[in-house]
Amino acid sequence: MTDQNITFITFGAYLLLIFTIGWIALRRTHNQSDYILGGRKLGSWTTAISAGASDMSGWLLLGLPGYAYVAGLEAVWIALGLYIGTSVNWSVVAPRLRVQTQSLNNALTIPEYFEFRFNDSSHSLRIISAIFILLFYFFYTSSGLVAGGKLFESVFGLSYQWAVIIGALTILTYTCLGGFLAVSWTDLLQGLLMALALSYVAIVSIYSIHGFDALLDWISIINTDLLNPYTSTINEPLGIIGIVSLLAWGLGYFGQPHILVRFMAIESEEKIPKARLIALIWTAIGLISALLIGFSGIALLGNELQANDSEKVFIELLQLLLHPIPAGICLAAILAAIMSTADSQLLVASSAITEDIYKIVNSKATDKQLMILGRLAVIVLTLCATLLALQPDNNVLELVAYAWAGFGATFGPVILLSLYWKKMTRNSALTGMLTGGITVIVWKNISSDYWLFNLYELVPGFIIAMGCIVLNQTFQQTKLQHGQ
């Protein structure tokens, strides 16, 4: 039996398991609440690992190792920012969001939470937030399909376009089947598989280059000062703009709907501390392993991978170092990572269409109608994301960065302040949402020839949105006091 046949069998067994989980979840999905939030019955392990898996996605196995391979120690700043963001999100947002979304008429989506939280009878908050969700998930889901295309292209020799289409059909099938339960249960399995694959390949890679000392020597080829990750790939100072931009990835966590819904779906607030511990351990294992894999690629692959191909460093290493059976399992882990995020994003986006747009237009819609429409929305959204992903020059990290910034700036400040500032009003929330989202879009499209606009668009978007909320709220309160 050839190595490729062994890999095919491994992939086939994994997909069969995933579809089986989707079918079981379908049997337990009885209403719209089950389809969107799993009836708020997730345990600590499922919540923690599925949140991490839907967060990190193929970016953790392709984008981050590829960046570490190209940039060396510079990649440490992204990992540090993400870990801090994960920790703060679980501590500051998770408990209050779980309690408030249930107490506010059992809000099932983030836009619905905004509407109930601010008593918005005009539905403007709900509709505008749903539009932003659809816009940024278009890019985010495409990043997962790009990652899938690179995987199938490298492993099976398929054309990139066919590889993207096969990945899209796989994700589409089981997301439509079981909804949130299918997504969460499969994300638990996929998250554990991701951690296992990353740590295993990292250990084997370091062993192959004779330990950490040798690894550090190879990294020094890229970094002028080995102990000081302030340098870039062209041996120039990274500078404060670069450092802030990389660390600022952590700010994005507060506004990611596909992560926030996991907090909303956990069985009770009491399960959050255990889930937080599990999530932080899983995240640490994933981030450290991904960095080590990228660094090891410098030693084992040299300059073999160029431009966007650098994101294939994990694939190249496992094919170079591992027996076909563990290699097949690790390749399945990449597919798992890709699907674990794309399915969550599709489900949240379809919920925005059904719960936050269609339900307003047709208030008499039944649960059955909403579930059917939700599945149709998943099909349409997958098709649109696939069309963008078919361009082979797309970069996973760039697509993720744009969508991450969009959600972080649009929803992050509103989420944080809505949970902790009781006097915050609808107009302030709407102002923050619009300024945050628009700032990201405008900033991204301004030429980076001006040094300030090299700053990651999440930073100005988040700061401007937060400032506008506070200023608007202060102005309203001052106006009210003068009126009295």
CATH assignment of the domain containing 143:
1.20.1730.10
The verdict on residue 379 lying in a domain is yes
In the chain, the percentage of residues whose pLDDT exceeds 70 is 86
The verdict on residue 249 lying in a domain is yes
The verdict on residue 102 lying in a domain is yes
Give the pLDDT mean for 6-32.
Answer: 71
Which of the 8 DSSP states describes residue 225? S
Give the pLDDT mean for 221-232.
Answer: 44
Instruction: Report the C-alpha gap between 11 and 158 in whole angstroms.
Output: 15
Q: What pLDDT, on the 0 to 100 scale, is given for residue 230?
A: 37
The verdict on residue 484 lying in a domain is no
Question: pTM of the entire structure?
Answer: 0.87
The per-residue pLDDT for range 296-349, each reduced to its tens digit, is 988 888 777 876 678 889 988 988 888 888 888 888 777 767 776 777 777 788
The verdict on residue 464 lying in a domain is no
Q: What pLDDT, on the 0 to 100 scale, is given for residue 101?
A: 93
The verdict on residue 227 lying in a domain is yes
The per-residue pLDDT for range 337-396, each reduced to its tens digit, is 777 677 777 778 888 888 888 888 887 777 778 777 877 888 888 888 888 888 767 777
Higher pLDDT residue, 202 or 34? Answer: 202
Instruction: Report the C-alpha gap between 159 and 142 in whole angstroms.
Output: 17
What is the SS3 assignment for 138-190?
HHHHHHHHHHHHHHHHHHHCCCHHHHHHHHHHHHHHHHHHHHHHHHHHHHHHH
Q: What pLDDT, on the 0 to 100 scale, is given for residue 361?
A: 81
- Tell me which residue range forms the domain holding 128: 3-399
Q: What pLDDT, on the 0 to 100 scale, is given for residue 457?
A: 95
Give the pLDDT mean for 149-177.
Answer: 77
Higher pLDDT residue, 50 or 234? Answer: 50
Query: For residues 305 and 69, is the Cβ–Cβ distance under 8 A?
Result: yes
Judged against a pLDDT cut of 70, whether residue 272 lies above it is answered with yes
Distance between terminal CA atoms of the chain?
Answer: 84
> For the chain, what is the mean pLDDT?
83
The verdict on residue 177 lying in a domain is yes
Judged against a pLDDT cut of 60, whether residue 236 lies above it is answered with no
CB atoms within 10 A of CB 441: 18
Q: What pLDDT, on the 0 to 100 scale, is given for residue 223?
A: 54
Q: What pLDDT, on the 0 to 100 scale, is given for residue 138?
A: 85
The verdict on residue 389 lying in a domain is yes
Judged against a pLDDT cut of 90, whether residue 456 lies above it is answered with yes
Query: For residues 419 and 100, is the Cβ–Cβ distance under 8 A?
Result: yes
The number of folded domains in the chain is: 1
